[in-house]
């Protein structure tokens, strides 16, 4: 894998999910070479912990020679809860595909930035269409926000309008523009954003609230997972993927076998080929256990 920081290359762009498939509740899968799983709402329990059963399943997959990639919207600073449970390679795909990060070395390996001009165009379009929208900027090593954007972590640096935030720290790759609305339905917020600003980036959501995540054009969980798999000689049909929210749709559509956890968003349930139990009931671990058991037989 290269260490260059730049726009994504190659033929991989954010693919649409497969057309709706008949859902299966069994665990019959081909023997995969790689497991790709979302974290929040999928692998992690609602308290953001990793259950003992899941820890054991991840270790069993590694012992069986199956690579595991965590593919998440999270930034690197929120990965401590799972860093010790990574498979041997130590890499995770973060920020909805905008970054590949080595969690053991605490090092950014590769980034696919959102151009500042596109981020600004999205912010202006959303603000014009939906007054009340507020924004934050996620760079490789910093998070900055507007005053009206409510955050759950301490601020580093003064609050400022999005125009000023995008003009600062430009030596760091811009991984995501975040947008919140105080009163809109989350799915309506996403639909409106796609209509007024979809040409300037990949717009998705992973929160239960009206929070949008904007990446560079062609950058998704799928695009970066496909690059990582290609570098390992792994084909899409050798990948099993798990997810729960719209930001997982591209990855689930790309993978040869896709699972929605029972608590998934309706769009994810409609797009995936298979189902497993909810995140609170160790749904991902249940499938991994069956995969490992089948490999032993």
CA atoms within 13 A on the CB side of 39: 25
The number of beta carbons lying within 10 Å of the beta carbon of residue 259 is 30
The residues facing 204 across adjacent strands are: 213
Tell me, what's the pLDDT at 87?
Answer: 61
Strand order in the sheet with 174-180: 142-145, 134-139, 174-180, 211-215, 202-204
Q: What are the backbone angles phi and psi of residue 264, rounded to the nearest 5°?
A: -70, 160
Tell me, what's the pLDDT at 75?
Answer: 93
Positive or negative, the CA dihedral 153, 157, 160, 166 is negative
- Strands 99-102 and 274-276 turn out to be unpaired
Tell me, what's the pLDDT at 151?
Answer: 87
What SS3 state is found at 39? helix
pLDDT digit string, tens, across residues 52-92? 999 999 999 999 999 999 999 999 998 988 877 766 678 99
Q: Which stretches of the chain score pLDDT less than 50?
A: 1-28
Strand order in the sheet with 274-276: 107-111, 99-102, 91-94, 67-71, 34-37, 239-243, 257-261, 274-276
Tell me, what's the pLDDT at 282?
Answer: 97
- Which residues have C-beta within 8 Å of that of residue 208, sequence separation ≥ 6? 186
């Amino acid at each position: 894998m290269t260490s260059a920081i730049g726009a994504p290359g190659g033929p991989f762009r954010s693919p649409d999910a497969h057309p709706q498939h008949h859902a299966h509740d069994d665990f019959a899968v081909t023997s995969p070479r790689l497991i790709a799983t979302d974290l929040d709402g999928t692998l992690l329990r609602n308290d953001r912990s990793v259950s003992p059963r899941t820890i054991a399943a991840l270790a069993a997959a590694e012992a069986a020679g199956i690579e595991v990639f965590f593919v998440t919207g999270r930034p690197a600073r929120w990965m401590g809860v799972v860093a010790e449970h990574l498979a041997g390679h130590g890499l995770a795909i973060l920020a909805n595909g905008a970054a590949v990060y080595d969690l053991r070395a605490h090092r950014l390996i590769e980034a696919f930035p959102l151009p500042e001009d596109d981020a600004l165009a999205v912010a202006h379009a959303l603000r014009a269409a939906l007054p009340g929208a507020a924004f934050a900027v996620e760079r490789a090593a910093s998070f900055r926000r507007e005053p009206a954007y409510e955050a759950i972590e301490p601020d580093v640096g003064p609050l400022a309008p999005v125009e000023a935030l995008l003009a600062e720290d430009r030596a760091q790759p811009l991984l995501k523009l975040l947008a919140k609305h105080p009163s809109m339905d989350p799915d309506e917020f996403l639909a409106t954003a796609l209509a007024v600003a979809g040409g300037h980036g990949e717009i998705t959501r992973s929160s239960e609230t009206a929070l949008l995540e904007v990446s560079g054009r062609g950058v998704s969980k799928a695009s970066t997972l496909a690059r990582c798999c290609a570098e390992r000689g792994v084909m899409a049909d050798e990948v099993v993927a798990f997810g729960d929210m719209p930001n997982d749709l591209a990855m689930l559509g790309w993978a040869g076998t896709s699972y929605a956890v029972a608590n998934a968003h309706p769009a994810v349930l409609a797009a995936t080929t298979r189902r497993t139990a909810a995140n609170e009931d160790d749904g991902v671990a249940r499938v991994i256990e069956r995969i490992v058991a089948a490999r032993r037989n």
